Structure 1
Amino acid sequence: MGKRLTWFIIAGLILGGLLGYGLNITYAPQGDAGKAVLDGAAYYLDIPTQMFLHLIKMIIAPLVVSTLVVGIAHMGGGTAIGRVGGKAFLWFVTASLVSLSLGLILVNILQPGVGVNLPLPDVAASSGVDRSGFDVAKFFIHIVPTSALDAMAKNDILQIVVFSLFFGVGLAAVGEKGAPIVRGMEALVQVMLTVTGYVMMFAPIAVFCAVARTLATKGVEVIGQLAYFMGSFYIGLAILWAVLLGACFLVIGARTGQLFRYLRDPILLGFSTASSEAAYPRTLDALDRFGVPPKIASFVLPLGYSFNLDGSMMYMTFASIFIAQAYGIHLDWPTMISMLLILMVTSKGIAGVPRASLVVITGTLAHFDIPEAGILLILAVDHFLDMGRTATNVVGNAVASVVVARWEGQLDPPQEAELTVATAGTPQGTADADSFEDYGAKS
């Protein structure tokens, strides 16, 4: 099912693009009447996409809690957790600095905003993006959940991770008394991954509708208008991929190419949906088959989705300085470096959902007296940029998990054949996440 799903998603991507383009060139020239038709089409096309993203959010909280708790419980104690966590955070901080610095350097070399010459807006002009949460003190206070159930209800990944860390450490500390809970959590992992397999069957439909809706309402012209900015950013992403995979090669050697092959599905799913959450279950599956022990993958990956969004972080410096260039605002290097350091802190814990980074960018613009209404300049093409940076986030977090596993000396040989289990409604007995059948035992 894994390879077929990839082709189905690609087909959805292409067919959705053709449908959206066809609708746009047919109805856009018809004025208000055509716009009404396109708005109606967009309304209905958005329904399957939102349903799929809701399905993903439905499984994220129990999946993260169960896999993370099981992984911590099987590590055996606070020393192992601290060691793995320390190595993970060392990688996260390094990767974050590299991503932010790369964005800063490239936007100054390529200068995609120079020549746009936007007039400075009225002081009261607003981008419409809520930045009320842009506060360092609030961020650190927000890390600790007041209620585990509330954190799960809101799908607040960072708070879920904090609760799971405490719960997993406590479960490991009580030893044999906690064994029944550990077994129950292992069973929950298997149930949630089977459910994930069912949910992923809807991915091609969601991709088809998402792409069709975007091109139907915005057309291909919006891509052309900011083509240089988009091209510059994708050049940056390509360089960042080369850096990440190059660092991975230094650690695991020739197996890097094999890792990229295993990540094919989650990269494509993340790119198509522009949602890191949507790619999470598939990434966990790919890492398991590649040989990363579940106890490490289920610990590092959720942390990465809060602290290691490499593509999103590069975009923050790139977009912030691009907007300054578009307004003709000169920023000296000390100012840009201070912007980088602020983004280093405020980017942590941003949600892995579409356009969450715009909130951080908007707050950063205001901090440096750059008109926040400039965010409207990139808002029209942000979806296409979000697709690329989400795929990069998937690569960055997968590489982090593999590197930590190698540093721990626990990177196993890959499973060439995908494991399968019998599932209701699938005659061939396959499901996307079924390779986790022995998840608990391998942890």
Structure 2
Amino acid sequence: MSLPSHSSASGRSHSLYLQVIIAVVTGILVGYFFPNIGASLRPLGDGFVKLIKMVIAPVIFLTVCTGIAGMADLKQTGRVAGKAMAYFLFFSTFALVVGMIVANVARPGAGLHIKPESLDAGSVASFVSEAHSHSFTEFLMRIIPATTAGAFTSGEILQVLLVAILFGISLAKMGPAGEKVLTLFRSLTELVFGVVRLVMYVAPIGAFGAMAFTVGKFGVASIGHLIELVLAFYLTAILFVCGILGIVTRLMGFSILRLLSYLKEELLIVLGTSSSESALPGLISKLENAGCPQGIVGLVVPMGYSFNLDGTNIYMTLAALFIAQATDVHLSLGEQTALLLVAMVSSKGAAGVTGAGFITLAATLSVVPTVPVAGMALILGIDRFMSECRSLTNLVGNAVAAIVISRWENALDTTQLRAALENRKTE
């Protein structure tokens, strides 16, 4: 697939970046000074996210299908998927451990002395119900669509990924006879990314509406009494991205700060909309422009959106231990380890579900009876403010994963990567 170079689009990207910044700041001001108006602007943010989700299925299908069909060896597909899963499991678990360590050191919930029976369990009942309805077995069954066409209408990324992998393998096995189909799919890929570029023109409007709604509806004051937890989560996420992932990127020969700068438009859109999916098409395009092979990006990024949720995992253990500390529940090291193991499974069982962060926390606490599930009511009001950080961390984690696995496959164009991160043309 021939995508426009990052340098050729740098002027447009810079303009979009500034527009989104202005939109986010304006949205915050409108939500703060005119909360009723801000709360009414939710359709602007929701509409933009829906526009992006509209093109996610064809983007994933065409990127993965043409990428696999274009691979010289089909064994590479299985090898890339295996390496990706190993990477995801390691760093997802590491993120859970980091969240647990920070919770034990910072102890943001200590001293609140809240009695569990005083909490409004009804306010989180729907999340608990949703968590029970998404077991790991049901998650595996959800990967298989009822029909091929159904994969494109279900909103399930993994269903589209499965269909794309099967079609890609079949197309590769067709040999020369499949060239016409492959050429058609590549042309359709250009078409779909053209649609993505058109949709991105309204990104500032979406970011403005979503941010105005968040501040107008929940109010900055709503995080006042839980500011310590919010700060602990944001600082932990920054530590994970700049520290842990920063070490990984340094070992791979590039800077995490340059990568963050390269992805600044996508990060701002995620910040404004509180949805990492809103930046998925742009992330795929930029990773390919940065020297990652299309086939690897197409496999790793969609898989990562379900299995490599670093920000969500940090949030899960940090929030669970916050609730335990706030309700004066002492957890031994063994009980905390059990909670971590449950979180490892539940975080996969609700992957791809809307509001997955809160739902997976409900699933984890439901299995660990020591910590009251009703305690989730304590953080319900500030969950929206933490969801932006979860999504941002998830996005960066998946970008790093795609580059690392491309490097492991000796398929990364390091010259193109360096040029993209430094915002200059390749020779």
Distance 1:64 1:158, change over 3 A: same
Residue 41 of structure 2 is matched in structure 1 by 45
Residue 441 of structure 1 is matched in structure 2 by none
* Deviations 1:17-53, CA, capped at 9 Å, x for gaps: 11111114xxxxxxxxxxxxx2xx3553011111111
Residue 425 of structure 1 is matched in structure 2 by none
Q: Does residue 411 in structure 1 map to residue 407 in structure 2? A: no
Matches within 5 A, 1:204-243: 204-241=204-241, 242-243=243-244
Residue 246 of structure 2 is matched in structure 1 by 245
- Which amino acid letter does the alignment assign opposite residue 13 of structure 1? V
Residue 146 of structure 1 is matched in structure 2 by 146
Correspondent of 1:20 among 31, 35, 45: 31
Deviates more, 1:320-329 or 1:65-74: 320-329
* Deviations 1:189-210, CA, capped at 9 Å, x for gaps: 1111110011111111111111
Q: Does residue 306 in structure 1 map to residue 317 in structure 2? A: no
Residue 319 of structure 1 is matched in structure 2 by 319
Asked if the contact 1:307–1:349 (Cα under 8 Å) also holds between the matched residues in 2, the reply is no
Asked if the contact 1:77–1:172 (Cα under 8 Å) also holds between the matched residues in 2, the reply is no
Distance 1:332 1:227, change over 3 A: same
Cα drift, residue 69 of structure 1: 0.8
Residue 108 of structure 1 is matched in structure 2 by 104
Using the size of structure 1 for normalisation, the TM-score is 0.86
Gaps of 5+ in 2: 1-11
Cα distance in 1 for residues equivalent to 2:359 and 2:271 = 20
Cα distance in 2 for residues equivalent to 1:283 and 1:219 = 31
Distance 1:240 1:322, change over 3 A: same
Cα distance in 2 for residues equivalent to 1:354 and 1:205 = 22
The residue matched to 2:410 in structure 1 has which SS?
Answer: coil
Cα distance in 1 for residues equivalent to 2:418 and 2:400 = 19
Q: Does residue 384 in structure 1 map to residue 388 in structure 2? A: no
Correspondent of 1:61 among 49, 57, 62: 57
Deviates more, 1:132-141 or 1:381-390: 132-141
Identity over the aligned pairs, expressed in percent?
Answer: 35
Cα distance in 1 for residues equivalent to 2:313 and 2:144 = 23
Gaps of 5+ in 1: 25-37, 419-434, 436-443
Cα drift, residue 231 of structure 1: 0.5
Cα drift, residue 7 of structure 1: 0.7
Cα distance in 1 for residues equivalent to 2:416 and 2:321 = 42
Cα drift, residue 123 of structure 1: 10
Cα distance in 2 for residues equivalent to 1:391 and 1:74 = 31
* Deviations 1:62-86, CA, capped at 9 Å, x for gaps: 1111111111111133311112112
Q: Does residue 172 in structure 1 map to residue 172 in structure 2? A: yes
Residue 429 of structure 1 is matched in structure 2 by none
Cα drift, residue 391 of structure 1: 0.8
Cα distance in 2 for residues equivalent to 1:417 and 1:401 = 17
Cα distance in 1 for residues equivalent to 2:168 and 2:396 = 27
Cα drift, residue 349 of structure 1: 6.2
Matches within 5 A, 1:121-140: 121=117, 125-126=121-122, 127=124, 128-129=126-127, 130-140=130-140
Cα drift, residue 124 of structure 1: 9.6
Cα drift, residue 144 of structure 1: 2.3
The residue matched to 2:132 in structure 1 has which SS?
Answer: coil
Cα drift, residue 255 of structure 1: 4.9
Deviates more, 1:162-171 or 1:122-131: 122-131
Cα distance in 1 for residues equivalent to 2:17 and 2:175 = 42
Query: How many correspondences in the alignment?
Result: 403
* Deviations 1:75-133, CA, capped at 9 Å, x for gaps: 13331111211221121111111111101111111111111222112799331323232
Superposition RMSD in Å: 2.1
The residue matched to 2:141 in structure 1 has which SS?
Answer: helix
Cα distance in 1 for residues equivalent to 2:261 and 2:121 = 47
Cα drift, residue 60 of structure 1: 0.7
Using the size of structure 2 for normalisation, the TM-score is 0.89
* Deviations 1:384-435, CA, capped at 9 Å, x for gaps: 11111111111100000000111111211227888xxxxxxxxxxxxxxxx9
Asked if the contact 1:277–1:352 (Cα under 8 Å) also holds between the matched residues in 2, the reply is no
